[in-house]
Copies of this chain bind each other. A is one copy, B any other.
Amino acid sequence: MVRDISAVDTMTENVESFRQLSPSEFFYRNKEIAGFSSPSRALYQTVREFVENSLDATEVHGILPNVVISISREDSSNPNYFTVSVEDNGIGIPSNIIPDAFGRILYSSKYKFRQTRGMYGLGAKMAILYGQITTGKPFEIYSSTSRSNKIFYYKLSVDIRKNEPIVFEEGAWEKKTSWHGTIAKVTIEGDWNKRTRDYISVYVKRTAIIAPYADITLIMPKFNGEQEGNGEEESEIVCYKRVTDKLPVPPKETKPHPLGIDLEMLKMSISESKNKTIKDFLMKNFQRIGEKKAEEILKIAGIDFDRNPKNLNDKEIEALYKSIKSVDFISPSPDPLSPIGEELIKIGLKQVLNPEFVDAITRKPKSYGGHPFIVEAGIAYGGKLSENLDEIARDSIKGQSGPFIALLRYANKIPLLYDEKADLIWSVVNPDDFNWKNTYKLDPSDIVVVLVHIASTKVPYKGVGKESIAQVEEIRKEVEAAVQELARRLRKYIVKKRKREEAEEKFRIFLKYIPEVAQNLAVFYDGVSPEERKKIAQELESTLKAIAEKKVKIIEEVKEE
């Protein structure tokens, strides 16, 4: 394995050859960083990406989502080719944009200051690429906007070297109905095993928990233990019906917050600005900058209010940048955020887990580095909860040493299933670091479901696969505060419950002995006939019962406080 340095050829011949990659080529070579690391994972990731696009195309625009996901083996000759098709009733995609929107990497509508599930505008294209490189089958899409009277069809794949779409077929039909939405269809090489099935169905289940206003249907091959599928195999159908017509408030696109921009952004927006004066530029291009604030900033930077932005030199822009970072601003507006809300979280948890206790909290908007975010959390305990846990929660619990925490992580309404242990949220709620046992009075055998949702215009994912959230102190604090509050409420419930059970137990025992006690007391009455003594005994008995009942009431009342 080693050799002597003397044996090394002189390196004077060495010159590295360089070349440029297209974005498609880069992501195509590095699929795994977008979650396409194996046929099994690729199938899961494909479903995810299209479902998330569908929800972004509906809910965000005030439409109650109807989403149908179908996974099927292409044909018996290719048992590991799977066709994934996702249909939604969303706003649709204008036909002229379709080819670029799906055939060009880094061409997207996600690059906005607004909360959406998608962030990188990459997912669907990665699925298309993956299908193309594993099965060679092009991507198919039907789409229609509500305003259009046509349904458009495209069959395309990506020219990886040029990063542009290759359109094989396109067509249009007159619309007979008022249908609008999108049907996306891709055929990829997959691996249908129990794990794949579990992850996909759990993903859909957890999506349903957090989107009880959505109608979601999942059709997939029935997994019968064996990998290979024969031609006509059964399929498994899972439906999550809409249980409420309430939609979260959709996010509103807003201007960036001054603390959210960096020097480069400032330079770019100045170079593109149409504002006559720098003061005007500041007021028009950022939130939280009024006349006073703009003047304060410019004074510190030593720049006249009416300078033309275009004429500022680099030194001046840097001074401006530093002065922006040095002054105080109202924290970012939560308008671009769309939290789920306590009500919907509780509905979702009840609906799917059927627990004995459920509660939820939505924290006030906060921000990190100029990006607004809201942390929400839900908690569920007891009842039929443990039977209703999904496979992934069960697996996670196996590794723990009680009290057991089943964590449901969400970011911008996306369930996060992989890399739990690397996630900021787990680092807060895990039983080793969060004192569920002593501080919050849980038994070692208790199972608690904790749901945490982070909504932000910029979720600090650790990777484009969107599976775990990086350590950001501001977010960490909020998650901690939210879960602590819910844990306190749960403790209150549990303590009260235990007290009641004890009191009832005491009472039961007491009642059992009352007759006997009454008898014995009655003995002390001398010079009375047996009948009278019996009567006395009965009177004593009822008095004692009255006392006992009163006593229990008092216990109850004490507990109420």
Contacts and interface: CB of A to CB of B under 8 A. Distances in A.
Interface of A: 1-5, 8-9, 11-12, 14-23, 25-26, 28-30, 32-33, 37-38, 61-64, 91, 93-94, 97, 100-101, 104, 106-109, 111, 119-121, 129, 132-136, 145-147, 160-161, 245-249, 262-265, 268, 314, 317-318, 321, 339-344, 362, 399, 419, 421-422, 432, 460-465, 468, 470, 472
A142 B342 CA distance: 58
Contact of A146 (B1, B11, B136): B11
A406 to B, nearest CB: 18
A522 to B, nearest CB: 62
A31 to B, nearest CB: 10
19 contacts: A1-B248, A1-B344, A1-B362, A2-B343, A2-B344, A5-B64, A5-B245, A8-B247, A11-B146, A16-B93, A20-B100, A21-B121, A26-B120, A33-B463, A38-B472, A133-B264, A134-B262, A462-B462, A463-B463
B2 A247 contact: yes
B340 A246 contact: no
Q: 3 tightest A-B contacts by CB?
A: A1-B341, A8-B62, A422-B422
Given A18-B100, A132-B263, 11 more contacts: A2-B248, A18-B108, A23-B23, A25-B106, A29-B111, A30-B120, A32-B462, A33-B33, A33-B464, A37-B472, A136-B318
Contacts of A32: 460-462, 470
Nearest to A262: B133
A135 B146 CA distance: 47
Given A16-B109, A111-B19, A422-B419, A268 B161 contact: yes
A1 B465 contact: no
Given A26-B106, A62-B8, A106-B26, A37 B2 contact: no
Contacts of A472: 37-38
Most buried by B among A28, A121, A247, A470: A470
A174 B339 CA distance: 63
Contact of A265 (B21, B104, B133, B341): B133
Nearest to A160: B264
Nearest to A272: B161
A38 B474 CA distance: 12
A38 B369 CA distance: 10
B37 A107 contact: no
Contacts of A134: 262-263
Contacts of A264: 28, 129, 132-133, 160
Contacts of A342: 1
B21 A106 contact: yes
Contact of A107 (B21, B93, B135): B21
A29 B11 CA distance: 39
B18 A133 contact: no
Total identical chains: 2
Contacts of A399: 432
A313 to B, nearest CB: 12
A66 to B, nearest CB: 13
B21 A145 contact: no
Contacts of A94: 15
A132 B267 CA distance: 11
A263 B136 contact: yes
Contacts of A133: 262-265
A91 B33 contact: no
A11 B61 contact: yes
A245 B25 CA distance: 39
Contact of A249 (B1, B26, B339): B1
Nearest to A122: B26
Contacts of A419: 422, 462
A317 B135 CA distance: 11
Given A1-B340, A249-B3, A421-B422, A263 B135 contact: yes
A471 to B, nearest CB: 8
A490 B28 CA distance: 43
Given A32-B462, A264-B132, A91 B15 contact: yes
A97 B265 contact: no
A246 B2 contact: yes
Contact of A3 (B15, B129, B246, B470): B246
A339 B11 contact: no
A28 B267 CA distance: 14
Contacts of A22: 106
Contacts of A136: 263, 314, 317-318, 321
A18 B147 CA distance: 18
A186 to B, nearest CB: 14
A294 to B, nearest CB: 21
A20 B104 contact: yes
B341 A91 contact: no
Contacts of A20: 100, 104, 106-107
Given A108-B18, A133-B263, A265-B133, A468 B422 contact: yes
A3 B342 CA distance: 13
Contacts of A246: 2-5
A11 to B, nearest CB: 4
A404 to B, nearest CB: 15
